[in-house]
Structure formats: structure tokens, C-alpha cells
Amino acid sequence: MRKILKVAQREYVETVKTKMFLISVFLMPVLVVGVIFLSGRLMRESVTGPRPARKIAVTDLSNELSAEIERAFEQYNTSHPQRQLILKQLSAEEHDLDARINKLKDEVRKGKFDAYLVIAKDVVKGGDKSYYYANAKKVADLLLFSTVRRLLNDAVTNTRFRLHDLSPQLIAELRRSVSMEQVDVSSKTGKKRGEMAMMMTPFFFLFLMFMGVFGISQQMLTTLIEEKNSRVMEILLSAVSPFQLMVGKIIGLAVIGLTLVSLWGIAAYLAAASRGMGDLVSAGIVVYFVIYYILGFLLFSSILAAIGSVCNTLREAQSLMGPIMMFLVIPMVAWFYIVQHPEATLSVVLSFIPPMTPMIMILRIAAHPDLPLFQIIASIFLLAVSVPVVMWASAKIFRTGILMYGKTPKLRELVRWLRYK
């Protein structure tokens, strides 16, 4: 045990002295704090910030909505002075309708108009479809469609009210919204938590887990390959056994990861607390994060230790890491679904696939603190059993591959190494 701790101490000290470690210590907290403070402003800018004026051509085949369309666009431009919509109403006779539509579609392609709206003849009665033509290459163009559709709906609704002899004053009275304030009973202040903050908190834990497990454990590959190529590995193995060397490196890197993750997490919490969002993170989530991080790191770094021991270059190691990376990519891709459906069958199944378990479970717990306790205990037990099994298999490969040079062994040969006593 003393030799394992010596190796862990060496790994920790050598890593802490590097410039990259110091950069990670200070740069990541700055980025995290910056994201937290800028997120609200960026959200406001995305909703109400300035945007170039957009030109909309409209052909009203019903001949009933011109005035209401004009009024709807004017009201929109008044309430959104930095997001003007320039309306151009165009008439079209029945005999040249197709030619007119084709001409306007071509003008949209060329950029003369941002969109072309053809209002159906029976739109007020709820008959034919209306058509919206746009060159939707950008997300902003997709958002423009929803705005134009809302304005058209307002114009049609007001026209229907007028046809039923309802006065504008009565319409405004009937459409008056209900005043309601949301009170969060789980919050100490009772104030509503920001929806974006609540959505991003689970993702932050997921990202922190990803950076801590994958970002730090990657050093296992680089250090093993460097020491193997420089023959330092042979000197180290003259003092310790391959198993002691592997476990010592894993423990050293795990402590480094905990150091960085703790600093990043503290910086993020202080930034969130300064904006009144500190209660989004509970002590229970932090405890679970530490447990899943340690078990996940031991599992993943053991796999990388086995890969690094049989490779002579980083290119060889990266090719072997491809299948392993898929287990880390899936939680990053599926996080939005899991946050919204933490108790769905897919979320539960992914929780019990060991390489993904730490990331999926911390995502589910952060999204749903009242997750069934038996699922949490079962997932921790699964990891606790998987870690020694994977470490045992990795140690078998490590002791044989660490002193081998030349061609990377194939899967059949690795299986044979596992059978060696």
C-alpha cells in the first residue's frame, strides 16, 4: 500500500506542477462564473435584443384581412422597435396567381424578401391552408415564421370578432389575461426559480462529471505512452509491481480530478448564490456527485490504463477509445430528454449501463431530487461491483502490455492475456 501511495503522490505532484493544471484551476472557474452572469443577459438579448429589419411580402386572397394585417404588423413594430417587420402587401388576380407566387418565391430565394405569405381565400372561415415561403437557412428565419403565424392568427381572430359585431373594447375585455404569480414551495424565499437556471443546473453537474472523469483521466493515456516511449516505465517497474503502478496512477489522478472539480464547483456555487440561485444545489446532490465521480473515475481510468499500456502512440490509443467514447457521448446527447423524463424507461435503463451510470444518475438526481432511493442504491452498488472487476481485468492487460512494443495487440490476444495467471 505504501508503494501505491508513493506512486499516487508522484503522479499528483508532477501533474500539479504543469502549466496546464494551473490554467485549468483558474480558467475554468472564470468561464463558469462568466456563463452564469452572462446567461441571463444573453437570454434577454435573444428575446428582445436588436435584429435587422425583415421584409415580409403578403398576398391576401380572402380580400378581408388587409387592414387587420396592417394593424397587427404596426402593433408588433411598436412593441418591438429593435425588431421591425417591413410589410409589403401585394395583390394577385386569380388568372396570374401561380405566376405571381412563383415570381415572389424566386425573389425570396434572391433575398429581396425574407418571407412571402399567401393567405388562403377561406382563411376566416377556417378553410384552405395558407402558405409561408421562406429561405430558412438560419434559426432566426425559423423564429420569424412563428412570429408571422401569430400575427396572422391575431388578424384572423379580430376579423372573426368584427363579423360577429363584437366591439374592440369587448374583445379586449374578453381577451384580458389572468393575473397569476408562481410560488415555489420548495424554495426558502418562495420566489419562482428561473426556468433556464433549473434546466441548466442538471446539465452543469453532467458537464462537471464529464470534464472531471474524461478530461482528467485522459492524462492516464498521455503519461503512460510518454513514460513507455522514454523507457521511464522500465525504471518505475523495477521499484513497484505493474498493479501497484497502475493503481497508484489512478488514485493520483482521481485526487487531481477531485481538486479541480471541487474548485470549479465552488466557483460556480458562489456565482449562483450571488444571483439568488444557491438553493438550486442541495447537500444531497453534492454528496451523490462525489460518490458517482469517484466510482466513475476509477472505472473509466482503469479502462484507459489498459488501453494506454498496449499502445505506443496517441493515435493508436485514440482509435481504441472510439467505442468507449460512445458511452460518454450518449448522456451529452440525451441530457435534455433525461432532464424532462428522469423516470422514463429509457432513463432508467441507461442508468444501469456502468460506463454511463455516473453521468446519467447525477443528471437524473439533479433534475428530480425525489428519485426512488432504491434506484440510487442499486446504481451505486452496480458501480461498486464493476470497479474491482474492471480494475482486475485492466491490471491483467497492464502487466503484460506495459513492456511490449511494436504492433498493437488485437482483441483475441488481449483476451488471452486475461487468462494468464
**Same domain, yes or no: 53 and 16:** no
**Same domain, yes or no: 11 and 63:** no
C-alpha span between 362 and 213 (Å, rounded): 13
**Same domain, yes or no: 319 and 411:** yes
187 is a domain residue = no
243 is a domain residue = yes
**Same domain, yes or no: 133 and 104:** yes
What is the arrangement of strands in the sheet containing 131-134, beginning at the earlier edge strand? 85-89, 54-60, 115-119, 131-134
Contacts of 73 (CB under 8 A, 6+ apart): 56, 85, 87, 151
**Same domain, yes or no: 113 and 252:** no
**Same domain, yes or no: 32 and 115:** no
C-alpha span between 281 and 268 (Å, rounded): 11
Please state the domain count of the chain.
2
C-alpha span between 3 and 239 (Å, rounded): 9
> What is the reported pLDDT for 54?
87
**Same domain, yes or no: 27 and 78:** no
> What is the reported pLDDT for 35?
62
320 is a domain residue = yes
Tell me how far apart the 2 most distant CA atoms of the chain are, in Å. Answer: 97
> What is the reported pLDDT for 157?
85
> What is the reported pLDDT for 167?
76
Residue ranges making up the domain that contains 62 = 47-172
> What is the reported pLDDT for 45?
58
> What is the reported pLDDT for 301?
86
C-alpha span between 189 and 225 (Å, rounded): 53
**Same domain, yes or no: 25 and 54:** no
181 is a domain residue = no
Q: pLDDT digits over 21-46, tens only?
A: 667 666 666 666 666 566 556 555 55
> What is the reported pLDDT for 202?
83
> Which residues of the chain fall below pLDDT 70?
20-22, 24-49, 92-95, 136-142, 168, 181-197, 271-272, 274-280, 405-406, 411, 419-421
